[in-house]
Amino acid sequence: MPALELLHEMPEQKPSRGTVLLIHGACMGAWCWKDNFLPWFSQHGYDTYAISLRNHAGSERQGSLRFKSIYEYVDDLRQSLKPLDGPVYLIGHSMGGFIIQHYLSHSPDPKVRKAVLLCSPPAQGNLAIIPRLLRTMPLAFLKANLHLSWKPVFRNPANARTVMFSPAFPEERLARVVSQMQDESFLAFLEMIALSLPDHRKIQTPLMVAGGGKDFLVPETGTRKMAALYGVEPLIIPEGSHNLMMETGWENLASAIDAFLQR
C-alpha cells in the first residue's frame, strides 16, 4: 500500500465527540480542507483528519495516475480508517463521496457511524455531465478526451470557475486553488459516470446528502435523485457551487453537518 498523507488536528477538549475523516474530490488533495473544515471540526470537539489519496498532493506516487481505479481509492480509505478510534464520521466531497458509497457498500464497518456526501456523483451515475461539458466548453472537453487528462478543463481559471466555483469566488483565491489542483484519473472519471457504480442497496450507514443549487458538475436534480435513492431529504444550498466547502457560508454547511452527526 502507498504511504498516504494524512493531515490531523486534535480537539482541545477531551474526550472528543468522535473522529471525522475528510476525503477530497477529483484533482485535489487534503489541502482543500485545511483552511475551513479541518480546523472547524477540530474546534468543535472532533478528532479531525484529512486524507490525500494515492498519487495526490503529499501522498506516495505509484504507477500512472491516469488509470487509477475508484477501487484503489477505496483501499486508501480503508487503510486510513484502520488506526482511527471510533466512532468515525466520514465526510466526502465529490469523488470522495463516491468513494464513501463504494466503501460502505463493500465493507460494512460498525466503527463508521454516519457519512456525509457533499456534491457527490450519485450512485445512479452521472452521464449527464458529458453533454453539459460538450455544450459549455467543447474544445477543452475534446482536448481532455484526446489526452486522457482533465487539465484542459480546469487549468483555464474561467473554466474552473464555471465547473467548480461561484461567480463571486474571489479571483486571487481562484488562482491559488487552481495552482494547487492536479490531474485526475481518467478511469475514475469513467467509473463515476457509468462504469463502476456502488450498490446503494447494501449501504446501511445513515447518510446526509448535500449539494449546490448552482453546481455544474453534479446538478441539484442529480443530488435530489440520489437523496431519494437513500430515503433522505437533501440539504440544497440554493446558490451553492460544486466546491461548497470553500465558498462563502461554508460555516453554515459545517454546522448543519455537525447537527446531523450529533443526532
Q: 214-242: per-residue pLDDT in tens?
A: 999 999 999 999 999 999 999 999 999 99
So where are the chain's domains? 6-262
Give every CB contact of residue 28 below 8 A, 6+ residues apart in sequence: 56, 57, 93, 180, 181, 182
Residue-level pLDDT at 128:
85
Confidence of residue 76 (pLDDT cuts 50, 70, 90): very high
To which residue does cell 495526490 refer? 56
Residue-level pLDDT at 203:
95
Confidence of residue 14 (pLDDT cuts 50, 70, 90): confident
DSSP 19-40: EEEEE--TT--GGGGTTTHHHH
- What is the pTM (predicted TM-score) of this model? 0.95
What top-level class would CATH report for the domain 6-262? Answer: alpha beta
Query: Angle at Cα 126 formed by Cα 153 and Cα 151, nearest 5°?
Result: 15
Q: Residue 15: is the preceding peptide bond cis (ω within 30°)?
A: yes
- Give the pLDDT mean for 78-86: 92
Report how many helices (DSSP H) and strands (DSSP E) the chain contains, helices first.
11, 7
One-letter amino acid identity for 62? Q
Contact of 113 with 219, CB cutoff 8 Å = no
pLDDT tens figures, 88-102:
999 999 999 999 999
Give every CB contact of residue 66 below 8 A, 6+ residues apart in sequence: 148, 149, 183, 185, 186, 187
Burial annotation 208-230 (CB, 10 A radius, 16+ → b, else e): bbbbbebbbbbbbebbbebbebb
Contact of 22 with 50, CB cutoff 8 Å = yes
